[in-house]
Amino acid sequence: MEESPDIGIRLRMLNNAVRRYFDRNSEFAKKLDKLTCSNKWIMGYLFDAEKEGRDVFQRDLENNFGITRSTVSKVLSLLEKKELISRESVSHDARLKKIVLTEKSREIGRTMRREHEEMEKKLRSGFSDEEISVLCGFLERMQNNIASSESGAAVKKQKTARKE
């Protein structure tokens, strides 16, 4: 009987391959050294939001990328230090800070978008639209499996803490 492939390892290998590809081939990466692949995905999200006229706040990044508040805060601080974003107060709530691209980041945005589109083409190569849809559904289910097990663990910890 053939052994079932380890999905986690396969996903990690794909993630590493994408990161290495961008690190080796990206004009954008050369202009923005010391940014991780995930930082670049966040920049792409910000470019798309600006193009669509949407305001982006820290919570949006937490929710869309499934990362913690502290991680997003560190990423935003790095991007701010590199003068790629600024955080601006909004009139309706002084506590909220809108994340805004700088002129420096807009200049390289087109290059980044082109490189992202090239990577998407490579990833989708050889797959039908239906297969891509099915794959995305599977990946979403896996993500939900992880999220539900994390929230379940948090509930168990809370119940245990109350008993003590």
Looking up tokens 């701010």 gives 80
Q: How many CB atoms lie within 10 A of CB 132?
A: 12
> Which helix H or strand E contains 67, and what residues bound it?
none
The string of pLDDT tens digits covering residues 117-145 is: 899 999 999 999 999 999 999 999 999 99
Distance CA 83, CA 103 (A): 9
**pTM metric for this prediction:** 0.56
Question: Residue 102: which residues within 8 A CB-CB, separation 6 or more?
Answer: 83, 84, 85, 86
Distance CA 134, CA 82 (A): 39
The string of pLDDT tens digits covering residues 78-116 is: 999 989 999 999 998 888 999 999 998 888 777 877 888
Whether the pLDDT of residue 153 is over 60: the answer is no
pLDDT band (50, 70, 90) for residue 155: very low
